[in-house]
Amino acid sequence: MISYILRRLVAAVILLLVVTAVTFGIFFLLPRLAGQTADQLAQQYIGKSPTPADVAMVKHNLGLDQPVYLQYWHFIKGIVTGAEYNLGPTTAHCDAPCFGYSFKNHVAVWPELTDRIPITLSLAVGAAVIWLVAGVTVGVVSALKPGSFFDRSFMGVALAGVSLPIFFTGQLALLLFTYQWPIFGRTYVPLTTNPAQWANTLFPAWCSLALLYSAIYARLTRSGMLETMNEDFIRTARAKGLPERTVVARHGLRAALTPIITVFGMDLGLLLGGALITERVFSLHGIGEYAVQAINDNDLPPVLGVTLLAAFFVVLCNLLVDLLYAAADPRVRLS
């Protein structure tokens, strides 16, 4: 068990290295293959009409005059040991884990990320709880009476939920419940400051995001339950004389939910890397928003930071899923 986790963690570190290498490669090699020089790259980060001396200085300060593999090495080294950054007139020390300084506005990346992680985390986890509870409940009830009025109407709503984009449902929720009838708050408040306010502000965002996912989960749960309730072991459970509620909960749901763990872990992992559209619509300054801004600015260190963070969450959630799965299904052996 422990050796399994250790092996998975080593594999995760290697994977993260590969992810950063690929991100590096895309950022530097592709423009270079397209004919862009380091000078042209550096010019993006200076004001209008720079002198050649300015360009040379910026190029040097950002490390763009070094070979790509050295820049990569400095980046990785910075994460582990911290690094010194030359910001022109001054030098700044950046403690480990150092994800570098923004090329554009010379701000350290790591504090930006740590400021934004709680927001993205709040959004993702809150929505996940709602969609898991709503999706599974609807799925189970639908599966127990397939073809009933309830089943049909909820599956219809689910279909609509999957089809409606978040920039539609989100705007609608904002328009109605934040502006027309101001039930919910407009500005994000950290959980630690005021939990009620925190939940109040995030609620429309949670629901918009959850609508999208709960539709998928309702369908997943429904089909899983339909299949499970036809299993032989359900017949056995009934033959024992168990009340139907016990049969459904302890025997049916238990087996139907296990595969959902996998999907849930992956979805949550992806969301923790930033829910771009939702964050934009609800003006939440999370990871996703940061990523969009960094990409617009062609700002490598934040892009790398966000990519690495997102990849880390995906890897972490996958590991947790595998551990949970092994705990839930005794037939699965970790090796």
Partner 1 sequence: MTELSKTGAAVGEPVAEGPSKPPTAFLEVRDLKVHFPTDDGLVKSVDGLSFKLERGKTLSIVGESGSGKSVTSLAIMGLHRLGARGKNVKMSGEIWLDGKELIGAAPDDVRRLRGRDMAMIFQDPLSAMHPYYTVGNQIVEAYRVHNNVSKKVARTRAVELLDRVGIPEPAKRVDSYPHEFSGGMRQRAMIAMSLANNPQLLIADEPTTALDVTVQAQILDLIRDLQKEFESAVVLITHDLGVVAEIADQVLVMYGGRCVERGPVEQIFAEPQHPYTWGLLGSMPRIDREQTERLVPVKGQPPSLINVPSGCAFHPRCPYADLPKGGITRTQRPELQEVGGDHFSACHLSPEDRTRIWTEEIAPKL
CB closer to partner 1 out of 154 and 203: 154
Q: Contact letters (x/-) for partner 1, 245-264, by CB under 8 A?
A: --x---x--xx--x------
Identify residues 187-216 at the interface with partner 1 (CB under 8 A).
none
Distance from the Cα of residue 94 to its chain's centroid? 26
Tokens in use for 161?
Answer: 């939920």
Q: What are the DSSP E strand ranges found in 39-154? A: 83-86, 91-94
Q: Contact letters (x/-) for partner 1, 67-106, by CB under 8 A?
A: ----------------------------------------
Q: What are the DSSP E strand ranges found in the chain? A: 83-86, 91-94
Identify residues 213-232 at the interface with partner 1 (CB under 8 A).
226, 229-232
**Cβ 169 to partner 1 shortest distance, Å:** 32
Q: What angle do CA 233, 235, 241 make, to 5 degrees?
A: 110
Q: Contact letters (x/-) for partner 1, 295-334, by CB under 8 A?
A: ---------------------------------xxxx---
CB closer to partner 1 out of 221 and 307: 221
From the list 29, 77, 244, 283, which residue makes contact with partner 1 (rule: CB under 8 A)?
Answer: 244
Is residue 152 involved in binding partner 1 (CB under 8 A)?
no
Is 281 exposed, middle or buried, given 0-12, 13-18 or 19+ CB atoms closer than 10 A?
A: buried
Q: Calculate the alpha carbon distances from 13 to 9, 96, 116, 136 in Å.
A: 6, 16, 23, 34
201-225 as b/e: b if 16+ CB within 10 A? bbbbbbbbbbbbbbbbbbbbbbebb
Residue with tokens 């995001």: 209
**Cβ 265 to partner 1 shortest distance, Å:** 19
Contacts with partner 1 by CB under 8 A lie at 143-146, 226, 229-244, 247, 251, 254-255, 258, 328-331
